[in-house]
Amino acid sequence: MKNLPLYFDYAATTPVDERVIEVMVECLGKAGNFGNPASGSHIYGQQAQQAVELARRQVASLVGASAEQIVWTSGATESNNLALKGVAQSRAGQGGHIITSRIEHKAVLDTAGQLEQAGFSVTCLAPDAQGLISPQAVKAALRDDTFLVSLMLVNNELGTLNDVVGIGEQVRRHGALLHVDAAQGAGKVAIDLASWPVDLMSFSAHKVYGPKGIGALYVGPRARSQLRAQIHGGGHEGGLRSGTLATHQIAAMGAAFALAGEVFEEETARIRRLQRRLLAHLADIPYVGRNGSPQQCIAHTLSLTFINADFNRQALSQVLAFSSTSACNSASTAPSHVLLALGRDAEAARQTIRLSLGRYTTEQDVEQAAQAIKASLSAPAFWAVARH
Ligand SMILES: *Cc1c(COP(=O)(O)O)cnc(C)c1O
């Protein structure tokens, strides 16, 4: 694995932490904790169940929830589907109004689109120029028949941080439910569901140094009776999500979230220092603009647009692994829906990169990244134009 580009795409996914791998491997082989957590009649099943319940407490603990409020899913995509479709389905023929935003992850946007086709009415709020959705904007969009609001905590392309507490106060006053996609927030933002007015929250392990294919949905007391299962068969997870629990994935997610809590202060401070350093280097370059609020944001994710410069994406890609948009959209060549919603045009979107830093990013990586970005930019071909 020599000469691989430096990894600057932690917002797309993270490597599994070695300490998490150890926990995961212990749940696989015949000498390990391989039992079916639902086999309560013998020790194999009971031990597996204990591992699952420990993990449930670990995930709950990072976000200020209680263990019985955590439902395992296959990832944040499924959590978002369960939250939106599950609440909509409990409306049984009444229809109603859902509020979301134009800068949500596709797992929310496409699901909201499905519900719209099924007869629900959907408002997609535009973000402000800073990439934020304000409580006032949500308040203004609430209608008599609004039953659900779904907005993200941290935007995956911009790193912007919504005031979900302020939003939740508006939504709660109105009597609707608030779902928050926190896939990019867990481990990076202090979340306290015990005091936050949030009813449903989605999590994913692989954004927090856990494995892919496992996630969770927090289901608060107000949401419980209004959520219908989307996957049936066996009644696991209090009937909300059937399927044999993947002990190794779940134990790993628990370990990853517990670790995230342990290293939280130190890691966020370190990444903030690294980001400041990167920005200080880039401050010398006249062509660099930053997308999204520089105040209300996390330090891990940085969206940069190169203005009036010739940007050699190819050259930069050889040194840095970054993304142009979120990984889930990278299959299409369409410009990022998030940048378009911010009022950027397709050309600006082509000149945009997302750099995301994480647990294994070093100062040296940041120095090299800054050099590589500088080298990939040159003054626009003014001379060529002037000669004509
Ligand atoms: C990654 C991500 C998802 C999808 O999570 P998966 O576990 O990969 O399904 C959803 N929302 C946001 C904001 C994300 O960053």
Q: 3-state DSSP call for residue 2? A: coil
Sign, Cα dihedral of 203, 204, 207, 210: positive
Q: So what's the pLDDT on residue 161? A: 98
The string of pLDDT tens digits covering residues 213-255 is 999 999 999 999 999 999 999 999 999 999 999 999 999 999 9
Q: So what's the pLDDT on residue 382? A: 54
pLDDT average, residue stretch 171-190: 98
Q: Is 328 a catalytic residue?
A: yes
pTM of the model: 0.95
**Distance from residue 183's CA to the centre of ligand 1 (Å):** 5
**Distance from residue 157's CA to the centre of ligand 1 (Å):** 12
Tell me 17's DSSP state: P
CA atoms within 13 A on the CB side of 15: 10
384 band by pLDDT with thresholds 50, 70 and 90: very low
pLDDT average, residue stretch 35-52: 98
Q: For ligand 1, atom 12, which residue shows the shortest CA distance?
A: 183
pLDDT average, residue stretch 98-126: 97
**Distance from residue 79's CA to the centre of ligand 1 (Å):** 9
Tell me 309's DSSP state: S
The string of pLDDT tens digits covering residues 346-383 is 888 889 999 999 999 999 999 999 999 999 998 776 54
Q: So what's the pLDDT on residue 2? A: 65
Question: Residues lining ligand 1, judged by CB closer than 6 Å?
Answer: 75-77, 105, 107, 152, 156, 181, 183-184, 204, 206-207, 215
pLDDT higher than threshold 70 for residue 168: yes
Q: What are the extents of the domains in the chain?
A: 6-13+264-387, 18-259
For 116-125, 223-232, 310-319, 324-333, which range has the lowest pLDDT when averaged over its residues?
324-333
75, 139, 233, 276 from 108: Cα distances, Å: 13, 20, 25, 32
**Distance from residue 253's CA to the centre of ligand 1 (Å):** 14
For the chain, the C-alpha Rg in angstroms (whole number) is 22
pLDDT average, residue stretch 312-323: 94
pLDDT higher than threshold 90 for residue 71: yes
Q: For ligand 1, atom 5, which residue shows the shortest CA distance?
A: 76
**Distance from residue 12's CA to the centre of ligand 1 (Å):** 8
Tokens found for residue 341: 């919603």
Q: For ligand 1, atom 2, which residue shows the shortest CA distance?
A: 183
92 band by pLDDT with thresholds 50, 70 and 90: confident
**Cα pseudo-dihedral 269, 273, 275, 276, rounded to 10:** 130
Atom nearest to 152 CA in ligand 1:
13
For 9-13, 137-141, 194-198, 322-326, which range has the lowest pLDDT when averaged over its residues?
322-326
Query: Which residues face 354 on adjacent strands?
Result: 303, 323
Select the more confidently predicted residue: 319 or 333: 319
Q: pLDDT over 90 for what percent of the chain?
A: 88
SS (H, E, C) 192-218: CCCCCCCCEEEEEHHHCCCCCCCEEEE
pLDDT average, residue stretch 260-270: 98
Q: For ligand 1, atom 10, which residue shows the shortest CA distance?
A: 76
**Burial, 345: exposed, middle or buried (Cβ in 10 Å; 0-12, 13-18, 19+)?**
exposed
**Distance from residue 74's CA to the centre of ligand 1 (Å):** 11
Domain range 18-259, CATH architecture: 3-Layer(aba) Sandwich (3.40)
Ligand 1 pocket, mutate which of 16, 72, 77 (most atoms under 8 A from CB):
77
Question: Which amino acid makes up residue 283?
Answer: A
Domain boundaries 6-13+264-387, corresponding CATH code: 3.90.1150.10
pLDDT average, residue stretch 193-220: 98
Tokens 């979107």 -> residue: 349
Q: How far apart (Å, rounded) are the C-alpha atoms in residues 270 and 263?
A: 10
Q: So what's the pLDDT on residue 128? A: 96
Q: For ligand 1, atom 7, which residue shows the shortest CA distance?
A: 75
330 band by pLDDT with thresholds 50, 70 and 90: low
Backbone dihedral region for residue 79 (phi beyond 0: left; psi -120 to 50: alpha; all else: beta): alpha
Atom nearest to 327 CA in ligand 1:
1
Ligand 1 pocket, mutate which of 157, 179, 202, 204 (most atoms under 8 A from CB):
204
pLDDT higher than threshold 70 for residue 123: yes
